[in-house]
Amino acid sequence: MANIDRILFGDNQFFGVNHMSEEKARQQLVKFKDSSAIIKVLDDAYDMGIRTFMCTTHDRIGEICDHMRADRERYKDFIYFPCMPYAHKYANSVSQIGVMETIQRFAPGGVMSTIVRGAVGTLTRDVYSLMSLLIDAEMKRFERLNTPVIFLQNVVTDLLLGLKLYPVFREFSRYINERYGAEAGFITMNLPLLLDALSQAGVENPIVCANINKIGFRMSGGVDAYRDLLRTRKCRAIAMSVLASGAIPPQEAIQWVSGLEGLQSIVFGASSHGNIRQTQELIHSYWGADR
């Protein structure tokens, strides 16, 4: 079973994602235009003992991976939790060229011809083989790096959840385990519903990552439901958006989340040495130094 650190480092700040301010997102994009600036921040975090990087399979992540591969000694304890897919890449492509053409663009090999022939008898195999091709394409840049947990991004998790395609969760889990010797994780904005679905699909003691914050920002089902399920359900839950994109002052946010019974980890993003240090110290002071 994957060992999940208590403090994980996130990547939204590197790629111009800020749920509260377009201007702030833009400033961050400029700041992290060069991968060296990202690596500098990752180095700061790593040197402070934060060794797990939970990162979207953004095109630019390849440069970070190359850097780490080139200095194996320095980064021997560095852990990636890839989160796939980078949804905007696919969504923009669907708007530009259409669904089938997008599959063709991103799934290498002959999968399209199988699909176009459309023999319904082989449909299950087709869908799952398409999924495995897309996973392999996303994972290529992480070759020879340590990826003990591989996440499905919330847009896809929650789409499958709404469509009630629960068996796909189990198949994702199975493939990640079999092909990469890793555990599957699921990012969601609907944790109560997802835990029920995973349980129905037969995914036991799942690794899940969800917004968990004092003001209930993007916590579908409400704060109380989250508090209850963390205490009572068997799962390894990672809290993200703890500061609700900056709507809650850091100290208040971390004090609250640290008080939750049954929480496994906190993932946070920061853009500077000082902010990483401050957040780490707050987590240590309210939650204890280590697991």
Partner 1 sequence: MGIRVGIVGAGKMGLSHFAIANALPDTAVVAVCDTSRYVASVLNKYAGVQTFSAYEKMIDEARLDAVIVATPTSTHFACAQYALERDVHVFVEKPLTLSPAESRALSELAIRQQRINQVGFHNRFIGTFQEAQRLVRAGALGKVSNVHGSAFGQVVVKEQNRTWRASKSEGGGCLHDYASHVIDLLNFLVGPPAHVRGARLQTIFSRNVEDAVSAVFAYPGDASGILETNWSDDSYRKMTTTVTIHGTGGKLVVDRQELQLYLREPRGFEDYVEGWNTRYITGLQKPVGFYLRGEEYSAQLEAFTDAIRTGNMAHENSFASAYETDRVVDLIIQANKAAG
Among 162, 249, 259, 274, binds partner 1 (CB under 8 A): 162
Alpha-carbon gap, residue 220 to 274, rounded angstroms: 33
Name the helix (H) or strand (E) containing 240: strand 236-240
173: Cβ–Cβ under 8 A, 6 or more apart, which residues?
183, 184, 203
Which position among 65, 115, 237, 254 is part of the footprint of partner 1 (CB under 8 A)?
115
Which of 70, 120, 144, 261 touches partner 1 (CB under 8 A)? 120
Of the candidates 94, 111, 225, 260, which one interacts with partner 1 according to CB under 8 A? Answer: 94
Choose between 2 and 112: whose C-beta lies nearer to partner 1: 112
* Phi, psi of 285, deg, nearest 5: -70, -35
- 100 near partner 1 (CB under 8 A): yes
CB under 8 A: which stretch of 136-144, 178-186, 216-224, 250-258 binds partner 1?
216-224
- Per CB under 8 A, does 163 bind partner 1? yes
The only residue of 1, 3, 22, 113 in contact with partner 1, by rule CB under 8 A: 22
Q: Does 190 bind partner 1 (CB under 8 A)?
A: yes
Residue 83 CB, shortest distance to partner 1, in Å, is 16
| DSSP codes joined into one string, 2-70 | ----SEEE--GGGTT--SS-HHHHHHHHHHTSSHHHHHHHHHHHHHTT--EEEEE--TTHHHHHHHHHH
Angle between helices 123-139 and 99-106 (to 10 degrees): 50
> Applying CB under 8 A, which of residues 134, 161, 240, 257 lies at the interface with partner 1?
161
Q: How far is the CB of 252 from partner 1 (least distance, A)?
A: 14
CA 175-179-183 angle, to 5 degrees, is 65
Residue 95 makes contact with partner 1 by CB under 8 A: yes
Binding segment for partner 1 (CB under 8 A), chosen from 63-71, 75-83, 118-126, 172-180, is: 118-126
Beta bridge partners of 183: 149
What is the rounded CA–CA span in Å between residue 167 and residue 50? 34
Helix (H) or strand (E) holding 157: helix 154-163
Binding interface with partner 1 (CB under 8 A): 16-22, 25, 88, 91-92, 94-101, 115-116, 118, 120, 123-124, 127, 155, 158-159, 161-165, 167-168, 189-190, 193, 215-222, 244-247
